[in-house]
Copies of this chain bind each other. A is one copy, B any other.
Amino acid sequence: MATLQLEHYNIEIGPIGEAHFQWLADQQFAGIAVLTDSNTAQHCCPIVEAGLAKFNPTYIEVPAGEQHKTIETSQYIWEQLFQAGAGRNWCVLNLGGGVIGDMGGFCAGTFKRGIDFIQVPTTLLSQVDASVGGKLGIDFFGVKNSVGLFRDPRAVWADPRFFHTLSDRELRSGFAEIIKHALIADAQQWNELQSMTTLSEVDWTNWVARSVAIKQQIVAEDPMEKGLRKALNFGHTIGHAIESYFLETDTPLLHGEAIAAGMICEAWLSAEVLGLSSTELEQITSYFLTLYGHQTIPMNESETLLATMRQDKKNEDSRINFSLLPSIGAVEVNQTASPELILKSMEFYNESGR
């Protein structure tokens, strides 16, 4: 077990057990609702339902998948809370990946102007990415997370046993965020990662805790995402555009897979714009290709890809915003690059796979 104490709540990393349920009892909530999707209801509930039974919780199940992270599903969740008689002293336990955490947190954060919620992230990605930061939301108008709010949970319970329900591919996808955190903030962690190319023997409690600690430190200095927090965007400007493009094809990529490709492109931009050394660029490129393989970015769709980058929430004007690496373990926000240079970075990625 590892405990990360944040200003307003704790992140408990390790098996969920009696101590968790005792803490929950001590909070004396008037009622508990458990939000799941159809997958986590089947595969993750068994790990917690015996311990939760004494709270007589109301279970709310929604369909699985990003396509259901909508205002319509939110209305269903609010309605179920009303029908359960939920009041201001209730707590919602969000049991699932990023979609459940984001949407369940949004619904709890706005139900009767905000009730408490506990995040129980069940994927590696959501444990590393969503445990801190308080970003909640749903997709709207075709834009991810475009309606939402910032609000901290009462607790995060990150149990690596849930990873047994993930495919190797999903686990590897989540791992990309751990690599990103090392690249932007901790060269020592990056060196350790070099020796890890198989994920079956990883000590997850340790690695999740260390990676969350990096994110927590960055978020604490910039809770409302005005500046430094953009550091976490490394790889995401181009990565999101790649993810959006492949979403419309027959071979969609997982988030981490797209971000891995984005990090190779943006490492190349880092070399051009901030002088990242060619040794480090090569190290980064080769590690990501070993873990994630290679997809060809369709250069004939470059206008679509650039248009997606221009729409990013983090752009302040018409320029495309990046967070880039002067060296491994350091990051600079508010960098920019011309469309020509961005296209060249994608060509670099395409050639690196040959």
What is A's interface to B at a CB cutoff of 8 Å?
A: 30, 71, 75, 78-79, 82, 87-89, 109-114, 135-137, 140-141, 143, 145-150, 313, 315-317
Contacts and interface: CB of A to CB of B under 8 A. Distances in A.
Contact of A114 (B79, B141, B150): B150
Contacts of A113: 135-137, 145, 148-150
Contacts of A313: 87-88, 112
Given A113-B135, A313-B112, A78 B141 contact: yes
A339 B35 CA distance: 36
24 contacts: A30-B316, A30-B317, A75-B140, A78-B140, A82-B140, A82-B141, A82-B146, A87-B315, A89-B316, A109-B149, A110-B110, A110-B147, A110-B149, A111-B146, A111-B147, A112-B146, A112-B147, A112-B148, A112-B313, A113-B137, A113-B145, A113-B148, A113-B150, A149-B149
> How many protomers of this protein does the assembly include?
2
Q: For chain A, what secondary structure do more than half of its interface residues adopt (helix, strand, loop), or is it mixed?
A: mixed
B71 A75 contact: yes
A315 to B, nearest CB: 8
A55 to B, nearest CB: 17
A11 to B, nearest CB: 21
A142 to B, nearest CB: 9
A136 B88 CA distance: 16
Contacts of A111: 146-147
Contacts of A71: 71, 75
9 closest Cβ pairs, A-B complex: A82-B141, A113-B148, A110-B147, A110-B149, A113-B149, A112-B313, A113-B150, A114-B149, A112-B146
A3 B89 CA distance: 36
A78 B112 contact: no
A109 B313 CA distance: 15
Given A71-B75, A313-B88, A110 B141 contact: no
A271 to B, nearest CB: 30
Contacts of A137: 110, 113
Which among A79, A113, A145, A150 has the highest number of chain B CB atoms within 10 Å? A113
A140 B75 CA distance: 9
Contacts of A75: 71, 140
A137 B147 CA distance: 14
Contacts of A143: 82
A190 to B, nearest CB: 30
Which among A82, A109, A315 has the highest number of chain B CB atoms within 10 Å? A82
